């Protein structure tokens, strides 16, 4: 319904123009592919504020879901009917039945409707302690959205048909102030006329040479360049640093990533410099840090990986998307570095089938950090952002930090990991890594739908368990990782002996008889895995010695590389502070606010034909 009276109300409020409450929302993203549903949001203390701008004159729905579907979701529905705003807190059960929540935790702050759009602004506590609500944390949040051309009636919201969707976001990313000059120079790394196959998922890789600079430059911002109309086609973009030992022949043409016939040069591109995913924003380096270009230590060649999502199998698509890198000769105080920490990508990373939860750990051993930091920066390095990375079986990732047997606060975590939404997380406060510290990248997987082993590898059906740490000042350490012992894993399934010397890969089992002449991969798949066996295997793997990987630029090695280390003895695990629910006084304040809103509307509706200015005292905006 067209609420012209309400539209007039907001025009009367101090500092509020029609369609504009005057509040700012530091984050904004498009939720649908047609440009009809925009979401703005920002944190205000212990509350999160939202703004929905939707092309409809009916209701708008918004919520949080554990899977992106309607089941077990936390939902709010609002709109403007007959000139009066409404906002209701709902939830759904496991059967997707919509029910009104007894505890109303969403609080309306602004509403407007005109002939084309409905705008709703509201807030809620991060942690309501309502069992029907979802707590909002630093983890990925799967938001769901819907709208209808009619408002909510007495029977509740009507079915939204196809006007619905989901998107993964990180709602608590710190706010970033952009102070970049409009005239800042940049260069693009974009694909040229890439034909998108008519299949659901395509990963396309293209190598690029960084422009040659006559003096040192700092990249201070990276943002996506998405071809117009392809906003829903580009799912994520990763930028990797490659070996410098190439000539320009590697630049000839792109190729499908993770393909058996992809160029060998692609295999040297292992360190992630930048990551963007659909719904994500550009990345700005802190004011005192930049990505160095133009010196011998800097990247010369990079690999652009673009994930194309074409679920409708549309034919004839040609894409020219990529990244834009803004740079300056106004050199900042520190050069940024990237460390890859976690599990070395290897077939020795094993995950049994049929497991609802399996945990892997990759160790950045204290021996590696001790040697590298003592040689390069004894006072330590400062981490300001982290990218957590796994593949399709990944469900959660945590980057744990230890110092002298004590576990520090988590460097980064994502307990609701979504492979299709990966971007660097800004740390709220920079964290220092000292010589002798150690890091554990801990990954949770779900292989319930898999009948065979899952192995570490590059394919999306294979797995990874990695953290990429953006830090300063840059040191000569690119990888701090580990490989679990494979022979003890094989002993778990009964393997006694392998053929030596190893001349084939994967290597071959010699005994016992049931595995004779099988590769170790075939032997692991032949084993009769049960959930009980999987749990016992998981306990074993987490206790095994690990082989330390401690690498420099261009695959040079620190002397500690190849040594065997034990998982750390954690004397004092970190105890997270308990979640604090919204206070009753805060809820009371918002209930009073909502009451004032209704009173203001009612009074205004009755006296619009006379003087309205006297009502401003009761509207606290």
Given phi > 0 = left and psi -120 to 50 = alpha, else beta, which region is 193?
Answer: left
- Distance between CA atoms of residues 572 and 569, nearest Å: 9
What is the enclosing helix (H) or strand (E) of 602? helix 584-607
27 is catalytic: no
Residue 170 burial (CB count, 10 A): 21
* Residues linked to residue 293 through DSSP beta bridges, in sequence order: 217
| Helices vs. strands in the chain: H and E counts, helices first | 6, 40
- Distance between CA atoms of residues 613 and 609, nearest Å: 12
389 is catalytic: yes
DSSP output for 243-254: -S---GGGGS--
- Distance between CA atoms of residues 21 and 49, nearest Å: 13
Length of the chain, in residues: 621
Residue 389 backbone phi and psi in degrees, to 5: -135, 125
State the Cα torsion 587-108-414-379 to the nearest 10°: -70
Q: Both ends of the chain: CA-CA distance in Å?
A: 24
* Residues linked to residue 325 through DSSP beta bridges, in sequence order: 187, 222
Q: Please pick, among 203, 285, 308, 515, the residue that the annotation labels catalytic.
A: 203
Q: What is the 3-state secondary structure (H, E, C) of 260-321?
A: CCCCHHHHHCCEEEEEEECCCCCEECCCCEEEEECCCCCCCEEEEEEEEECCCCCCCEEECC
Burial state string for 492-530 with b = 16 or more CB within 10 A and e = fewer than 16: ebebeebeeeeeeebbbbeeeeebeebbbeebbbebebe
Q: Please pick, among 218, 382, 389, 590, the residue that the annotation labels catalytic.
A: 389
Distances (CA, A) of 247 to 211, 213, 300, 305: 14, 17, 10, 20
Residues 73 and 92 sit within 8 Å (Cβ to Cβ): yes
What residues act catalytically? 203, 389
């Amino acid at each position: 319904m067209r609420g012209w009276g309400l539209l007039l109300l907001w025009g009367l409020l101090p500092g509020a123009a029609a369609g504009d409450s005057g509040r700012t929302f530091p984050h904004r993203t498009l939720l649908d592919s047609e440009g009809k549903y925009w979401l703005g949001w920002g944190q205000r203390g212990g509350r999160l504020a939202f703004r929905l701008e939707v092309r409809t004159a009916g209701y708008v729905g918004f919520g949080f879901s554990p899977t992106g579907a309607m089941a077990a979701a936390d939902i709010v529905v609002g709109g403007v009917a007959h000139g009066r705003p409404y906002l209701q807190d709902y939830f759904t059960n496991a059967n997707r039945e919509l029910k009104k929540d007894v505890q109303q935790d969403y609080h309306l702050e602004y509403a407007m409707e005109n002939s084309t759009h409905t705008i709703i602004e509201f807030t809620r506590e991060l942690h309501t302690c309502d069992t029907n609500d979802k707590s909002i944390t630093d983890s990925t949040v799967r938001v769901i959205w819907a709208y209808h051309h009619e408002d909510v009636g007495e029977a509740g919201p009507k079915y939204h048909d196809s006007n619905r969707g989901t998107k993964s976001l990180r709602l608590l990313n710190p706010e970033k102030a952009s102070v970049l000059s409009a005239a800042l120079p940049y260069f693009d790394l974009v694909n040229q006329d890439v034909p998108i196959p008519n299949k659901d998922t395509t990963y396309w890789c293209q190598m690029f040479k960084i422009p040659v600079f006559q003096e040192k430059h700092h990249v201070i911002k990276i943002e996506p360049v998405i071809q117009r109309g392809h906003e829903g086609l580009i799912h994520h973009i990763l930028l990797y640093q490659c070996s410098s030992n190439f000539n320009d022949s590697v630049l000839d043409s792109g190729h499908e990533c993770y393909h058996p016939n992809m160029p060998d040069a692609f295999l040297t591109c292992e360190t992630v410099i930048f990551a963007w995913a659909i719904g994500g924003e550009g990345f700005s380096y802190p004011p005192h840090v930049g990505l160095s270009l133009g010196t011998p230590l800097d990247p010369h060649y990079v690999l652009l990986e673009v994930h194309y999502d074409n679920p409708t199998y549309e034919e004839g698509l040609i894409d020219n998307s990529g990244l834009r890198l803004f740079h300056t000769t106004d050199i900042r105080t520190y050069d940024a570095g990237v460390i890859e920490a976690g599990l070395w990508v290897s077939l020795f990373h094993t995950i049994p089938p049929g497991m609802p939860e399996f945990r892997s750990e990759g160790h950045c051993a204290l021996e590696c950090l001790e040697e590298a930091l003592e040689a390069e920066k004894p006072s330590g390095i400062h981490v300001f952002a982290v990218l957590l990375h796994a593949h399709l079986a990944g469900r959660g990732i945590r980057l744990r930090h230890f110092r002298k047997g004590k576990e520090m606060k988590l460097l980064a975590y994502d307990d609701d990991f979504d492979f299709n939404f990966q971007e660097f997380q800004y740390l709220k406060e920079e964290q220092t890594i000292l010589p002798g510290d150690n890091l554990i990248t801990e990954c949770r997987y779900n292989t319930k739908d898999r009948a065979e082993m899952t192995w570490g590898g590059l394919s999306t059906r294979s797995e990874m368990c990695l953290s990429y740490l953006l830090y300063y000042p840059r040191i000569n350490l690119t990888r701090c990782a580990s490989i679990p012992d494979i022979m003890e894993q094989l002993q778990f399934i009964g393997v006694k002996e392998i053929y030596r010397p190893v001349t084939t890969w994967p290597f071959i089992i010699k005994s016992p008889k049931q595995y004779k002449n099988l590769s170790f991969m075939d032997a692991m798949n032949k084993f009769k895995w049960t959930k009980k066996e999987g749990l016992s295997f998981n306990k074993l793997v987490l206790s095994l010695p690990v082989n330390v990987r401690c690498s420099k630029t261009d695959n040079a090695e620190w002397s500690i590389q190849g040594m065997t280390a034990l998982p750390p003895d954690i004397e004092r695990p970190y105890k997270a502070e308990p979640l604090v629910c919204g206070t009753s006084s805060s809820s009371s304040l918002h209930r009073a606010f909502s009451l004032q809103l209704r009173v203001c509307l009612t009074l205004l509706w009755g006296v619009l034909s006379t003087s309205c200015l006297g009502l401003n005292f009761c509207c606290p905006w």
